C-alpha cells in the first residue's frame, strides 16, 4: 500500500507526505531491483533498456521512478527512440516488472499469434491481480461471461438500446434538474460518471436496481478497490503477493458483501424464473445479466450462486461502466472547452435535430423500439462521431495497448527477438496519438479533425471549417454522399480500430466500443438539445493533450464545474 498511499498524497498535493513517500519508494525500488535479478525471467542481452546506456542490464532508481512520476516522458522515449524505428525495448513498469514494448511494425505478428502462445486474458490477470481481489483467477481466465457479452454487443445490441436511452435521459433529468431560469453548478466528472453508471447498469442488471444510489455507489467503490488491490499486489514480486493480498482484499471483501445484499433478491428471483422456465426465454428480462445466467445454466451451472455472479457482474461493470465514465467526462469537457472557438455545441445540436427530423416519418424499428437509435442512423452522426474520436485521441485513459503474456518457451518475434515464457509484451499508444509527424497541431483539440479526414477520400474539402454554421451548411452533402448504398464506414470513424489503438485491434478488439458509441451519442444528443451547458468561470486552467498522467494512466481533471440550465421548449 506504500506506493498507492504515495500517489494519493502526490495527487492531492500533500508535498510533505509525498516527499516521505518518494524516499520510501526509492528504498523499495532499490530492494526490488535486487530481488528482480534473482526471481525475474532473464531477457536477451541484445534487448535495450529504455533510459539506460547500451549494455546495462539493471534499471537505475531514477528510471524506475520515472514510471511513477514522469511516465509521459518515459513513454515518449519508447515511442521516439524505439517504436518508430522498429526496435523493441525493455521498460520498467509497476514494482519489479520489466515488460517488452514491441514496435508498431510488429503488431501484425503479435495479432497473428494464438492465445495459447500470447495470452491476452493471462496478461490481464497479471495486470489486475483478480485472484487476490476477487478470490479466484477464473473471473478473468474463464471467459464464458466475456463470450456472452461479446455476442450481445456484436449481434444483439440494438435490442438492448431503448432501455439504455430511457435510463440515460432519466438520469440526466434527475441530476441536472428542470430549472429553466437559474444556472445550477455541478461537478462535471462526478455528474457524468453517475449518469453513465446508471445508464450502463440498466444494460447490465436492468431496472429498478440500476437506480439505487447505494448500489451504484457500492459498485464504483468495489471497482476502485479492485484497481487499488491490483496496484498494491502487483507492486511486489510473486512470492510476496499472497501476503500482500491478504491485507489489500479486506476492503474489497466488505464491498462485495454489500453488493451481494443488493444482488441476492434479484438473483434469487432470476434463478427461480430459470428453474420454472428452463427452455422458454419468452419472458426473460432484457439485460446482460439474464443472458449471462442463461449461458451459465447451459455451460457453467456451478456458478449460479450469489457470490459467484456478484463477481461476474462486477467484472462486466468494470468493462462497460468504469472507463466509459472517464471517456464521457472528457467528452463533455472537451465539447465545452472547444465551443468558443469551434461552435461545437451548435454543430452537435444541429446534427441531432437534423437526424431526428429525418427519422420522424420512419416507422419504429421493431427490434430497437426506436426510430433513431439504430446502427444505420447513428452511423450518420458524423459530427458527434468526430468529437468522440478526437476525445479518445487526446484523452485516452490507457496509454498502451495489445498487452499479452508469453505462454510458451522458445518464442521469437518477427524480428527474431527471443521472448521468455511469462514475459508481458505490449505496444505504446498515447505518444503516437499526439505525434506531430502524424497529426497536424496534435496538442490542439479539434472537434472536426476526423470529420475532415473521413471526407478527404470523398472529395470534400473541410480543411478550413472551424464553425458550426459552416459545417452544417455542408453536412447534408457530406453525410448523404458518404452513406449511399450503406457505405458509412471509415477508418476515421469512432468504431474503427485503425490509426488509434484505444480499442485494441484484431479479433480481440474491444466489443464494448459498440455500446460506447451509442451511449456517447445518446448523451450528446439529449444533454445539449435539452440543456444549456457551460463551464464555470472559476475552473482550473484548461488542460492540454498529454497532461494529467498518474503513472501510466491519464485521468480526467478534478474539480471542473459545469453550469446547467434546462432549455425552454
Q: Which residues are annotated as a binding site for heme?
A: 510
Please report, in range form, the residues annotated as the binding site.
510
Beta-bridge mates of residue 534: 563
**Angstrom distance (rounded) from CA 236 to CA 231:** 9
Angle, helices 288-299 vs 306-317, to 10°: value is: 130
Q: Give whole-number Cα distances, 399 to 18, 305, 330, 428, in Å.
A: 24, 37, 15, 6
**Angstrom distance (rounded) from CA 412 to CA 211:** 51
C-alpha cell at 99: 515488460
Residue from 70, 2, 46, 15 nearest 550 by CA:
70
DSSP string, 468-520: HHHHHHHHHHHHHHHTGGG----TTSTT--SS--TT--GGGS-TTHHHHHHHH
Residues 6+ apart with CB under 8 A from 445: 334, 337, 338, 390, 391, 394, 545
C-alpha cell at 134: 476477487
Residue from 531, 545, 503, 495 nearest 391 by CA:
545
DSSP structural state of residue 398: B
DSSP string, 16-66: HHHHHHHHHHHHHHHHHHHHHHHHSPPPPTTSPBTTS-TT--S--HHHHHH
Let me know if 223 is exposed, middle or buried by CB neighbors in 10 A (0-12, 13-18, 19+): buried
> Contact at 8 Å (CB) between 546 and 430?
yes
Beta-bridge mates of residue 185: 563
**Angstrom distance (rounded) from CA 112 to CA 100:** 18
**Angstrom distance (rounded) from CA 304 to CA 287:** 17
**Angstrom distance (rounded) from CA 454 to CA 492:** 5
Place of cell 478470490: 135
**Angstrom distance (rounded) from CA 495 to CA 497:** 7
Element (H, E) at 264: helix 241-276
- Rg of the chain on CA atoms, in Å: 24
Neighbours of 331 (CB within 10 A): 22
DSSP string, 314-345: HHHHIIIIIHHHHHHHHHHHHHHHHHHHH-HH
Let me know if 145 is exposed, middle or buried by CB neighbors in 10 A (0-12, 13-18, 19+): buried
Tallying the residues shown for the chain, one arrives at: 569
Amino acid at each position: 500500500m506504500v506506493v498507492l498511499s504515495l500517489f494519493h498524497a502526490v495527487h492531492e498535493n500533500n508535498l510533505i507526505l509525498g516527499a516521505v513517500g518518494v524516499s520510501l519508494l526509492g528504498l523499495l525500488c532499490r530492494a526490488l531491483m535486487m530481488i528482480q535479478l534473482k526471481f525475474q525471467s532473464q531477457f536477451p542481452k541484445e534487448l535495450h533498456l529504455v533510459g539506460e546506456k547500451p549494455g546495462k542490464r539493471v534499471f537505475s532508481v531514477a528510471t524506475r521512478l520515472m514510471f511513477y512520476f514522469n511516465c509521459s516522458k518515459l513513454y515518449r522515449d519508447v515511442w521516439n527512440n524505439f517504436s518508430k524505428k522498429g526496435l523493441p525495448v525493455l521498460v520498467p513498469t509497476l514494482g519489479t516488472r520489466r515488460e517488452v514494448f514491441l514496435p508498431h511494425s510488429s503488431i501484425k505478428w503479435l495479432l497473428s499469434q494464438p492465445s495459447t502462445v500470447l495470452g491476452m486474458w493471462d496478461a490481464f490477470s497479471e495486470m489486475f491481480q483478480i485472484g487476490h481481489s476477487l478470490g479466484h483467477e477464473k473471473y478473468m481466465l474463464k471467459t464464458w461471461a466475456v463470450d456472452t457479452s461479446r455476442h450481445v454487443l456484436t449481434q444483439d445490441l440494438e435490442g438492448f438500446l431503448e432501455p439504455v436511452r430511457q435510463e440515460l435521459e432519466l438520469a440526466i433529468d434527475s441530476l441536472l434538474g428542470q430549472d429553466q431560469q437559474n444556472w445550477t453548478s455541478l461537478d462535471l466528472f462526478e455528474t457524468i460518471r453517475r449518469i453513465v453508471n446508471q445508464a450502463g447498469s440498466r444494460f447490465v442488471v436492468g431496472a429498478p436496481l440500476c437506480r439505487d444510489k447505494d448500489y451504484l455507489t457500492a459498485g464504483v467503490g468495489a471497482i476502485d478497490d479492485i484497481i487499488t488491490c491490483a496496484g498494491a499486489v502487483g507492486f511486489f514480486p510473486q512470492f510476496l503477493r499472497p501476503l500482500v493480498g491478504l491485507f489489500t482484499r479486506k476492503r474489497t471483501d466488505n464491498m462485495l458483501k454489500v453488493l451481494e445484499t443488493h444482488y441476492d433478491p434479484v438473483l434469487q428471483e432470476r434463478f427461480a424464473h430459470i428453474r420454472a422456465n428452463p427452455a422458454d426465454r419468452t419472458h426473460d428480462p432484457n439485460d446482460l445479466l439474464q443472458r449471462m445466467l442463461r449461458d451459465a445454466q447451459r455451460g457453467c451451472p456451478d456458478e449460479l450462486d450469489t457470490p459467484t455472479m456478484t463477481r461476474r457482474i462486477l467484472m462486466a461493470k468494470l468493462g462497460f461502466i468504469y472507463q466509459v465514465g472517464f471517456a464521457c467526462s472528457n467528452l463533455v469537457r472537451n465539447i465545452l472547452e472547444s465551443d468558443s472557438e469551434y461552435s461545437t455545441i451548435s454543430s452537435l445540436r444541429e446534427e441531432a435535430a437534423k437526424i431526428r427530423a429525418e427519422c420522424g416519418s420512419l416507422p419504429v424499428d421493431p427490434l430497437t423500439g426506436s426510430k433513431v437509435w439504430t446502427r444505420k442512423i447513428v452511423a450518420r452522426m458524423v459530427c458527434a462521431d468526430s468529437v468522440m474520436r478526437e476525445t479518445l485521441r487526446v484523452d485516452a485513459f490507457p496509454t498502451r495497448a495489445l498487452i499479452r503474456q508469453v505462454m510458451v518457451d522458445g518464442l521469437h518475434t518477427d524480428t527474431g527477438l527471443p521472448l521468455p515464457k511469462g514475459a508481458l509484451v505490449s505496444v505504446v499508444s498515447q505518444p503516437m496519438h499526439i505525434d506531430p509527424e502524424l497529426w497536424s497541431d496534435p496538442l490542439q483539440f479539434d472537434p472536426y479533425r476526423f470529420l475532415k479526414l473521413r471526407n478527404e477520400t470523398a472529395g470534400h474539402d473541410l480543411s478550413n471549417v472551424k464553425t458550426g454554421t459552416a459545417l452544417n451548411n455542408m453536412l447534408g452533402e457530406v453525410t448523404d454522399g458518404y452513406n449511399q448504398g450503406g457505405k458509412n464506414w471509415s477508418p476515421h470513424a469512432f468504431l474503427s480500430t485503425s490509426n488509434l489503438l484505444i480499442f485494441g485491434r484484431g479479433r480481440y478488439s474491444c466489443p464494448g466500443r459498440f455500446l460506447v458509441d451509442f451511449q456517447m451519442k445518446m448523451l450528446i444528443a439529449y444533454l445539449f438539445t435539452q440543456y444549456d451547458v457551460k463551464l464555470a468561470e472559476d475552473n482550473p486552467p484548461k488542460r492540454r493533450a498529454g497532461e494529467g498522467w498518474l503513472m501510466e494512466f491519464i485521468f480526467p481533471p478534478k474539480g471542473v464545474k459545469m453550469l446547467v440550465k434546462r432549455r425552454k421548449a
